[in-house]
Structure 1
Amino acid sequence: MAVSIAMFACSAEAQYKGDLTVQVEGLNGQKGLLCYKLFSGSQGFPDSNEKAVKKDCIKITEEPIKLTFKNLTAGSYAVAVFHDTNGDRKLNRNSAGMPLEGYGFSNNPAVKTGPPKFGQAVFLVAGPNTNIRIQMKYGN
């Protein structure tokens, strides 16, 4: 009997769901859109639309903006956001590959020669409510 109870507990724990709230701060105005991508693994992070668990672009109506993701399976996630000032739903870059629009990542890692790795932006959704903050960065 104890074995089946332990197996049930592990199974229930693996299926745990929680909500994630991401507060995006430091936007440089309300012009354009805020685009986000939520990843549950390193594949495609931070650029791939196909590998993102959730992705969208929303109108900026206030600052800070709160993004809420409901019923996420417990586990590791990372978020990438950018301020799409011209509304083309792409992070525009200069000829050297540097972003021309604002961007940010979960954990607010230092960005030096390229985007951070998933491991630098990863956080754990493990309770009923997880809250994180992303500070926008602008190149100019």
Structure 2
Amino acid sequence: MKRLGLALAAMALLPGAMPVSDLSLDVAKLRSTRGLIRVCLTADPSNFPKCTDDKRAVTRSVPATRHDISFDGLPRGDYAIAVIHDENGNGKLDTFAGIPKEGFGFSRNPIITFGPPSFKAARFTVSGDTDAQQVKMLYLL
């Protein structure tokens, strides 16, 4: 019995033996089906919401006609999601005088005041075999 316990403990330390989950993201309240939905999923608070220097971040760009996005095989843990509705397909969130002209949203749909929310405000935990998040898009202009 002791050997079985040691064998199970050793297997948990092997690469690829970490429990993983699948995450389903639903993007709600898009104002149009033009352009792309761009998603950044990160576990690194210092790279939220842009994911620019996070090699482990998962990014997706899908047509705005789709509102469901899947992430398979994620290690369990804490994450945050940032979404933009890139209506003109130029690869960035367009602004006017610092105010977003295109839609944006974050996991857990935190209240937005000035600037993006903190990682903590958007953080959620992936802990089961399958998890789901819904991001409601906001449009200011």
Other-structure match for 2:46: 43
Whole-Å separation in 2 of the counterparts to 1:26 and 1:117 = 22
- Superposed displacement of residue 56, structure 1: 2.6
Aligned length: 136
Match of 2:76, as an amino acid? A
Other-structure match for 2:94: 92
- Superposed displacement of residue 130, structure 1: 0.2
Whole-Å separation in 1 of the counterparts to 2:70 and 2:43 = 16
Other-structure match for 2:137: 136
Matches within 5 A, 1:47-86: 47-51=50-54, 53-62=57-66, 65-86=67-88
Aligned partner (choices 31, 46, 55) of residue 34 of structure 2? 31
Unmatched segments (≥5 aa) in structure 1: none
Matches within 5 A, 1:101-140: 101-140=102-141
Quote the RMSD (CA, aligned, Å): 2.0
Q: Secondary structure at the match of 1:43?
A: helix
TM-score, reference length from structure 1:
0.88
Whole-Å separation in 2 of the counterparts to 1:120 and 1:92 = 23
Structure 1, residues 80-114: CA drift from partner, whole Å, max 9, x if none?
0010011101011122x221110000000001011
- Give the share of equivalent positions with the same residue, in percent: 32
Unmatched segments (≥5 aa) in structure 2: none
